[in-house]
Amino acid sequence: MRSLFDQYDAPENRLTHALGCCLERDPRLLRQFIQWVRLGATVPKGRLEVLEQQVPGTLAASWDEDESKGLPDLWIHGQGDWCLLVESKVQAKVSADQLRRHVRTAERNGFTDICLLVLASEVPSRQLPNVIYRTWPDLYVWVCRRVRKSVWAACMGEYMEVAEARMIADGYLGNKPLTKFDGIPFGPDHPYTYREAKRTLKLAMHELRKRSDLRKLGMDPEGLGRPAITGRDSTVVWDFIPLKEARGKSQFTKCPHLTLGIQARRTMVIVTLPNAVPRKMRQNLTSGNQDRFAELVGKVEAGVSKAIRGIARAYPFMEVVQRHYPSQRAQPVVDARLEFDLRTAVGSRKASVKKQPQWLEAAHRAITGKQSNLQVGIGAILPYGDPHLCSRAVLDVIAGVWLACRPWIRTVLGKK
């Protein structure tokens, strides 16, 4: 069903319209919004009015009218000479001339106590004087904290999530988030959808790239992930963060990378060893006897098991996948897949996982005798249903799994 707020074509206009409607319909939320902007001391008593693309006392203008007329996106005012002008942006940059025109328009209409707010995807490095900057992700956090006391705050938060998912699907947002990561929401009471999974993945990767512990692991925070995430009807969406060793390489498949996959029933956190890595990297992994390989996997298993402790039904994981491609642009066909709980390599009394080292031996033999398009992944599986996954705390778990794979990464790269 079409949203109440979808009255305009441009995404920025839809967001601003949604914010204006929610603030206008909840006077208490409106005053809290002004206090959040840190203008509480100047807010006049009495009724406040919220206008969209309109000068107080005149008819509303069209969103498509020339911006040279100096109309802000939102105009909040009371009975006196105070007003708050709001200019919202998602992709476009803020123009200093445009902001000055807004102020001059307010002055011409008798306002002397003028506050100017820029609401954008991120705060610019160069800020203009006498301008207050806030971000859409910060606004999202602010409204989410008020959902229990304001139905209109809940409406705004939900609309921002839907709008962001739509913008991501349309390729509109780029790398600028509209909301903030707040966990992986899927479970028995929250069915998986590809669009929401794609939005959740984008936000999670944005947060993970900021982590200093992953930088010490060798993550390249500026490295590009997947060039395009496609597959609207798929039951899995995934992306990766490259390592610094991948800089200068023509393809991301030439080097191991940190992969996060959000699937219909579980989340997969692995270090991927692509098929196209140099032979030397695979030799670094499998050189020596089976016992050396088992010892390496044992170290990873111990670290991963510690990182996922407390997550119900989560387990350390390895997969070996053989694929082929019918054509250059076709989806891959899986010819064989071996995946198993790493605890089968070492045994686990607590989880009642019996030792069955033949699974690890099969993986070792497949990697050593590679004759096909073969990809290897090691890390953890996080099934849905545990409340820890539905909070920001899951970022620590994801990072912890990748960090636990440090011995594996260093061995592949030939580092001691």
For the chain, which residues make up each domain, given as ranges?
Answer: 11-159, 189-412
Percentage of the chain beyond pLDDT 70 is: 91
Residue among 166, 202, 176 at smallest CA distance from 14: 166
Is the distance from CB of 238 to CB of 260 less than 8 angstroms? yes
Q: Does the pLDDT at position 48 exceed 90? A: yes
Q: Does the pLDDT at position 407 exceed 70? A: yes
Fold of 189-412: BirA Bifunctional Protein; domain 2 (3.30.930)
Instruction: Quick: pLDDT tens for 331-366.
Output: 789 999 999 999 999 877 677 889 999 999 999 999
CA gap 8, 189 in Å, rounded: 32
- The secondary structure of 228-240 as a DSSP string is ----TT-SEEEEE
User: Which ranges constitute the DSSP H helices of 170-238?
Assistant: 194-208, 212-217
CA gap 313, 334 in Å, rounded: 26
Kind and range of the H or E run holding 110: none
Return the pLDDT at 349.
66
Q: Does the pLDDT at position 63 exceed 70? A: no
Q: Which of 52-66, 212-226, 286-300 has the lowest mean pLDDT?
A: 52-66
Query: Dmax over Cα atoms in the chain, in whole Å?
Result: 84
Q: Tokens 């309109």 label which residue?
A: 54
pTM comes to 0.82
The pLDDT of 99-125, averaged and rounded, is: 90
- The secondary structure of 240-293 as a DSSP string is EEEBGGGTT-SSGGGS-EEEEEEESSEEEEEEEE-TTS-HHHHHHHH-S-HHHH
The model's confidence at residue 235, banded by pLDDT at 50, 70 and 90, is confident
Return the pLDDT at 229.
65
Both tokens of residue 1? Answer: 């069903």
CA gap 59, 162 in Å, rounded: 30
Q: Measure Cα distances from 265 to 58, 204, 262 in Å.
A: 54, 18, 8
Return the pLDDT at 267.
97
Return the pLDDT at 28.
93
The pLDDT of 248-276, averaged and rounded, is: 93
Q: Does the pLDDT at position 172 exceed 70? A: yes
Return the pLDDT at 66.
43
Residue among 304, 259, 257 at smallest CA distance from 413: 257
What contacts 216, CB < 8 A, 6 or more positions away?
A: none
Return the pLDDT at 39.
66
Pairing of strands 82-88, 74-77: antiparallel
CA gap 335, 14 in Å, rounded: 46
Mean pLDDT of the chain: 88
Q: Does the pLDDT at position 408 exceed 50? A: yes
